[in-house]
Amino acid sequence: MLQYFKIAGQRFEPALSREEAFWIHLESPTAEESNDLIRHFDLAEDFITDLQDADENSRMEFDGGAVLNIMRVPLFYKHRSASLSFSTAPLGVIAVDDKIITVSFFENEVLTVFLDCKHRPFEITQQSFLLEIALRTALYYLKFLKEINRRTNKIETELHQSMRNQELIRLQRMEKSLVYFLTALKSNEIILERMQRSRWLNQDPNAEDMIEDVIIDNKQAIEMANIHSSILSSMMDTFASIISNNLNVVMKFLTSVTIIIALPTLIASIYGMNVRLPFADVSYAFALVMGVAIVSSIVLVLIFIRKKYF
């Protein structure tokens, strides 16, 4: 899908043609759309094709008059069938001539507010728009990290009463998402620091203060992800031990019950044999055998209670 936007004051609004557009957005573009832009702006082919790789790292690249910035943005999968709820993907921002081109082969929420033209007003330049995207990327990481923490707390509550592996698997998925987030955030940190030193960015006099804010938010997201990852790793180890201990408690209880039942069964089995046994001729033999079985079971129960097997 190809969309055009022009500047109206300090906001974006839809444009009718490529010529009047300041911002061109490609989301999951077709080969024809990609090739058309590559030819029109004389771009390196890998500026767009590299973004199809979900594992493409953040980087800043210059080629002729074009500047490519690739940032890894957070993804949130709302479908229950998804193996992971949170992941990351590359987002390309290309500054060429007097235009900005954004390219994404993966659906993300970072650009939504700009695509809907509901963003806060700001002095729009190539540099400032790139930094606004970087800022929103960091803010979405923080937002999703809070959601991961909320979900982790919910799973923790469920684990207090559970002996199933399902909750641990969900925690493992949260931990996997945090690993993706940490890797992407550290990759973004490198590109932001390089961007801060670039002469291209310093062409905008307001960019220096703004990129410092972006770097601070990105560092905050890194610290938050580190903390959540450490807590989650410790929690998984703890609850794995708790589940194992709960299973041991249940097995101990079942073993105790088995022993208590086994003794009366043994006595009844002996007196069920077709041989002459003591008290076999007395009228109260059945009551006597049942009494011995019941008393022995009660004695075993008292012994197990005293030893805290129950």
Question: Edge-to-edge, what's the strand order for the sheet holding 86-96?
Answer: 11-14, 2-8, 23-27, 99-104, 86-96, 66-76, 59-63
pLDDT in the model for residue 165: 72
153-175 residue pLDDT tens: 888 887 777 656 777 788 888 88
Q: What is the rounded distance in angstroms from the CA atom of residue 56 to the CA atom of residue 50?
A: 7
Q: Which residues of 247-286 are buried (b: 16+ CB within 10 A; e: fewer)?
A: eeeeeeeeebeeebeeebeebeeebeeeeeeeeeeeeeee
- Tokens describing residue 109: 């929420």
Domains of the chain plus CATH, in order, are 2-245 (3.30.460.20), 246-306 (1.20.58)
208: which 2 tokens? 């220096």
State the Cα–Cα distance between residues 246 and 63, nearest whole angstrom.
61
Least confident among 32-36, 38-42, 200-204, 281-285: 281-285
What pLDDT does residue 226 have?
92
Give pLDDT, residue 275: 66
Backbone torsions φ then ψ of 68, nearest 5 degrees: -105, 130
Mean pLDDT along residues 99-116: 90
* Mean of per-residue pLDDT scores for the chain: 85
CA angle 111, 115, 120 (to 5 degrees): 80
Please write the tens of the pLDDT for every residue from 1-14: 889 999 888 888 98
Structure tokens at 82: 């998804």
For the stretch 44-79, pLDDT in tens is 888 888 888 888 888 898 888 889 999 999 998 876
Percent of the chain with pLDDT over 70: 94
235-292 pLDDT, tens digit per residue, is: 878 777 777 787 788 888 888 888 888 888 887 777 777 667 676 667 777 777 788 8
- Residue 46 has a pLDDT of 87
DSSP state, 60?
Answer: E
What number of other Cβ atoms are within 10 A of residue 111's Cβ? 21
Q: Would you say 11 and 128 are in contact if contact means Cβ atoms under 8 Å apart?
A: no
Q: Which residues contact 271 (CB under 8 A, 6 or more apart)?
A: 277, 280, 285, 289
Round to the nearest angstrom and report the end-to-end CA distance of the chain. 66
What pLDDT does 71 receive? 93
Tokens 């043609």 — which residue? 17
Structure tokens at 241: 């031990």
Beta bridge partners of 71: 91
Report the pLDDT value the prediction gives residue 81, as an integer from 0 to 100: 53
Query: Which whole number is the average pLDDT over 210-221?
Result: 91
* Cβ atoms of 133 and 93 closer than 8 Å: yes
Taking the C-alpha atoms of residue 134 and residue 140, their distance in angstroms, rounded to an integer, is 10
**What are the E-state strand segments in 202-281?**
none
